[in-house]
Structure 1
Amino acid sequence: MERARQGWLVSGFISEEQFWLLVKASSIRSDKVVNALFDYLVNGISRKESCARYDVNSGHFSIGLGRLQQLSHTAAKLSRFYQL
């Protein structure tokens, strides 16, 4: 699957390692939000089901996803400065 934007996160196509690195670099601290985002991004579970499973407000989920999307996009743009 081709990404629409450099660094764009696609549900079900993110590795566990990439996910945890993004979470570590982010300001997201809620375990419930992190778990819901993990199920959505890594396991490919729908947003609705992920939010229901972890009792996460859809607004908080969207804010967390937006933060990870922005962080991923910025990291992708920065990566060219670290290539050998």
Structure 2
Amino acid sequence: MEDNFFVYVLYSIPFRKTYTGMTSDLITRFKFHNGKSLKGFTVRYRPWILAHVEYFVLKSDAIKREKELKSGKGREWIKSVIIPRIINLY
């Protein structure tokens, strides 16, 4: 069975916070962030919306991209490109 990997950015509209992660099961992971987890960063800033997602075949590529998005340049790109798109929708 072939796995798919996703790098995603969540956004909390009420708190104006972002969260970047990587998973092979995007739907389950999103539900976990919004309701099933009991501790951690994402619990404090619910509800989350899915602001951005990228698909990868190789886990190593997904991990590399997640690290890029968590870097200073990546966070700036999220702040300047992704978040304005989301805000314009709401």
> Normalised by the size of structure 1, how large is the TM-score?
0.28
Higher helix proportion: 1
Q: Which has the higher strand share?
A: 2
Higher relative contact order at CA 8 Å, sep ≥6: structure 1 or structure 2? 1
